[in-house]
Structure 1
Amino acid sequence: MLPPSDPPIPNAEGNGLPTFPAETEYALTDDVAEIRSARYQGDKLDIDPFPDIPPALLSSEHIKAYVRQTGMIHPFDDDKGRLKSASYEVNAGGRFIYWDEAGCKKSVPVAKDGTITLPANSISFVQIDITFRLPQYIAVRFNLRITHVHRGLLLGTGPLVDPGFHGTLLIPLHNLTSDEYTIRGDEGLIWMEFTKTSHPSKHGIVTNRPVAKFDPTEPRKNNQPPEYYFDRASKNRPIRSSIPGVVADANSKAQEAVDAATRAERTNKIFVGGGLLAVAGVVVGLFSFFESVKANVIAAYNLASTVSVAATQAGADAKRAQDDVKDVRAAVDAMAARAPAEELQRLRAQLEETRVEVQVLRRELDRAIARSGATKNDTGPR
């Protein structure tokens, strides 16, 4: 077998197709996987070493062939039950990333002999432990390992890796249960399937190609009741969503808010009612007070001998009335935010009438005072 870095062997048949040595082992290092991938890309872009494999979902023996020959994923291990008839199991690796309740980003490494813990009712992100070097004619789809699904974990949408992708993946995980969820670094996280697309590629030839074995589905997994899968996943422990608890808590807080608003409304009505009664009492008192002011004015007209004293008293009373009107107006304005609009409008109208009447009284008082001065001049000593 030629070293991985050697160029393809010239085709002895002279049909112009590039010929490559068959790889019998998976790449042991990432550098070797990169060299094998480069054989079928760059200036030799889209060369397919196995043109006889039709465009379709790849079965296990074809997954092995492409991994060995093109290094499309690394590392790869089919000795521990990770390869099924048409899918391959992948572990968590790299970094585990999430945001805590305070909004602070947390990023921790994923160790093969360690664990990662997803908080309850959370979205977290975890890398996987393989690197992709996909040819331009192979796409990858993936989904969460069914054991995690049976425990209540969900995978974020969009699990498609496009042909030609190079790099690793960051998997979004939704823990919608009411409990923390722990994943070991050495247990499977997702299952991947590989599809050869209809993209036309250049045909290549692999010499002395080994025969790969197909990995069928294990018979023990067939025709099982639901309890079988729940027992394998969680020993039939209850799987509870955190959503009902969150909804119930939200409903409880909403009801508390409604009760608080009702109590505040009742208190406000009592306060506003009492305040309006107080203002109404002041207005009625002002009208009664204005009647006495009118009486003083009338007395000033009818009793010329005492008009000066009455007029002076009436003027002082009118000044006090104006000050009281200002105080009442300020009180009404302060209550504007909590008093009914119609009641406030009625009180404002009454206050406006009172203000006009006070102005009329002041003009009458001024005339009365002026007249009393004239009367005193007419009746005084000459």
Structure 2
Amino acid sequence: MKVSLEDFRNKVARLADAVDASQLSAEARHALFDEFDPYAGKIEPALLNAGHLATYATVTGMIEPFHPSDLEKPATYLVAAEGQVRYRNEKGHVERFYLSADPKKRDTESCVRDSVRLAPNSVCFLTLEPTFRMPSYIAARFNLLIRDVYRGLLVGTGPLVDPGFSGRLSIPIHNFTAQPYDIRAGEGLVYFEFTKLTWSNPAETPAEIAWVPAPLNDQPPFPSSKNRRKTLDDYLDLATGGGPPQHAIELTVAEIRTQAERTRNLLSFATIAGAIGVAGLVITCWQLFAGAQQFTADAQTELRGSRYQLAQEVQDIKDRVADLKRQLDSATRANSSPPNATSNK
């Protein structure tokens, strides 16, 4: 039967008081009811409504700690992240710390943080807060909050918790988007649903246990606040602030295409610049060659002029030498002739 959320929580509180009167720990209650269903024939095998979920969680020690305030929907229980966190940062180094908003955890854990940031296109391993002790006749499934699903986050496990499992759950959260998201300690992360299997109690069963309360058959209404979301855009506005998230791979591909286009433009520019450079080099070489040719021609002309002048000067010297030789010969003949007659008188 559907009752108000306030009435439902009051009934869960009375149920918890009856269980506390047993003075048995959650672990001891699990040992007692692991293979013995105290509500066989009273709660049928099916997806458990909120009242039956609270009954088994409290009586059998299935969820510890169990927070009735996180059971506000007809069939799902909200679970927060708290515990060990592991992921690789942008440098590839492993980050290790304990996620908790409880200051007392700093006394027992070396590194405590109250939030974790999911980087774009990354995976982060988170630990859920409670210890689960699943009876042999109950299984569980879980998934992310609808808000986080519309953000583009993905939980990377089964996500089935088999009957008989006992311990804490760690789950990988994938952020495939280009937007970072923060997860805070104590903030609801996943919704659990629980299903009772077909089951027969063993032939030898404990005698009737006086402190076991009657099952709670009621459930709260679906939260009216969630019914205000009518369209796809309503869900996206709540999750991202407007519009679908951008996939990190799409952004990377777009960046690669932009870089490729820039490279292509640079290569085109380099090709044009190279052609201009080659043309300039050819022109420069031609100018140097033409200058060398002109220099050679001028040098040859000057050399020919110098040779002609030198030949003329040599000829002048030869002519002067010949003239001097004639004068010398004449002088020699004059000195060697006999004296004239007047000199013999």
2:222 is the alignment partner of 1:217: yes
Q: Which residue of 2 aligns with 1:177?
A: 177
State whether residues 27 and 33 of structure 1, in contact with CA within 8 Å, keep that contact through their aligned partners in structure 2.
no
Residue of structure 2 in register with 1:74 after alignment: 64
- Determine which of 77, 85, 101 is the counterpart of 1:96: 85
The answer to whether the Cα contact below 8 Å between 2:18 and 2:213 also exists between their aligned partners in 1 is no
- Structure 1 residues 180, 26: CA separation in 2 closer, same or farther (over 3 Å shift)? farther
Contact kept in structure 1, 2:19 and 2:213, CA below 8 Å? no
Q: CA RMSD in A?
A: 3.1
Separation in structure 1 between the aligned mates of residue 243 and residue 262 of structure 2, nearest angstrom: 34
Could you say if the C-alpha distance between residues 245 and 232 of structure 1 is closer, same or farther in structure 2, counting changes exceeding 3 Å? Answer: closer
Q: In the alignment, is the contact (CA less than 8 A) between 1:123 and 1:173 conserved in 2?
A: yes
Counterpart residue number, 2:39: 50
Q: Which whole-Å CA distance do the structure 1 matches of 2:244 and 2:252 have between them?
A: 18
Residue 233 (str. 1) matches residue 222 (str. 2): no
Residue 135 of structure 1 and its aligned partner are, at CA, apart by 0.5
The answer to whether the Cα contact below 8 Å between 2:72 and 2:223 also exists between their aligned partners in 1 is no
With over 3 angstroms needed to count, the CA separation of the structure-2 counterparts of 1:253 and 1:69, relative to structure 1, is same
Question: Of residues 49, 65, 68 in structure 2, which corresponds to 1:59?
Answer: 49
Structure 2 match to 1:116: 116
CA apart distance, 1:85 = 0.8
Displacement after TM superposition at 1:232 (Å): 3.1
- Contact in 1 for aligned 2:80/2:185 (Cα 8 Å): yes
Local SS of the residue matching 2:33: coil
CA distance in 2, matches of 1:168, 1:256: 51
SS at match of 1:91: strand
Distance in 2 (alpha carbons) for counterparts of 1:36 and 1:147:
35
Match in the other structure for 2:298: none
Asked if the contact 1:27–1:75 (Cα under 8 Å) also holds between the matched residues in 2, the reply is no
- Aligned residue identity for 2:55: A
Higher relative contact order (CA 8 A, sep 6+): 2
Q: Residue 106 of structure 1: SS of its match in structure 2?
A: strand
Equivalent residue number for residue 245 of structure 1:
251
What does the per-residue CA deviation read over 1:252-283, in whole Å, with 9 as the maximum and x for residues that have no partner?
5667899999999xx9xxxxxxxxxxxxxxxx
Matched to 1:53, the amino acid is I
| Number of aligned residue pairs | 237
Q: Percent identity?
A: 37
1:38 aligned residue: 31
Question: Within 5 Å, which residues of 2 pair with 1:359-374?
Answer: none
Contact 2:50–2:219 (CA<8 Å) still a contact in 1? yes
Aligned AA (2:142): F
1:151 Cα deviation from its structure 2 partner? 1.9
Could you tell me which residue of structure 2 aligns to residue 158 of structure 1? 158
State the alpha-carbon separation in 1 of the partners of residues 18 and 172 from structure 2: 33
Q: What does residue range 1-382 of structure 1 map to in structure 2 within 5 Å?
A: 24=17, 32-41=25-34, 46-51=35-40, 52-79=42-69, 81-112=70-101, 114-202=114-202, 205-207=208-210, 209-210=213-214, 212=216, 213-222=218-227, 224-236=230-242, 239-251=245-257
Q: For 1:85 and 1:184, how far apart are their aligned partners in 2?
A: 25
1:144-168 deviations in Å (ceiling 9; x for gaps)? 0111112221111411111000001
TM-score computed with the length of structure 2 as normaliser: 0.61
Whichever residue aligns with residue 234 of structure 2, its letter is: Y
What SS class does the counterpart of residue 228 from structure 1 fall into? helix
Q: Residue type matched to 1:108 in 2?
A: F
Q: Does the 8 A contact of 2:121 with 2:177 survive in 1?
A: yes
CA distance in 2, matches of 1:217, 1:240: 31
- The change in CA–CA distance for 1:222 and 1:243 in structure 2 (over 3 A counts) is same
Is the CA contact 1:82–1:90 (under 8 Å) kept in the aligned structure 2?
no
Q: 1:25·1:68 contact (CA, 8 Å) conserved in 2?
A: no
Deviations 1:69-125 (A, max 9, x none): 11011111113x444211100000101210123322111111227211111110111
Structure-2 change in CA distance of 1:198 and 1:254 (3 Å): farther
Work out whether residues 26 and 76 of structure 1, in 8 Å CA contact, stay in contact via their aligned partners in 2.
Answer: no
- Paired with 1:27 and 1:146, the residues of 2 have a C-alpha distance of 34
- TM-superposed CA distance for 1:199, in Å, is 3.8
Question: 1:121, 1:178 within 8 Å by CA — same for their partners in 2?
Answer: yes
SS of the aligned residue for 2:92 comes to coil
Q: Is the 8 A contact 2:150 2:244 kept in 1?
A: no
User: Which of these two proteins has the greater Rg computed from alpha carbons?
Assistant: 2
Q: Structure 1, unaligned stretches of length 5 or more?
A: 1-21, 268-382
CA deviation profile, 1:279-335 (whole Å, cap 9, x unmatched): xxxxxxxxxxxxxxxxxxxxxxxxxxxxxxxxxxxxxxxxxxxxxxxxxxxxxxxxx
TM superposition shift of 1:25: 5.2
Distance of 1:211 and 1:40 partners within structure 2: 15
> C-alpha separation between the residues in 2 aligned to 1:93 and 1:27?
25
1:27–1:68 Cα contact (<8 Å) kept: no
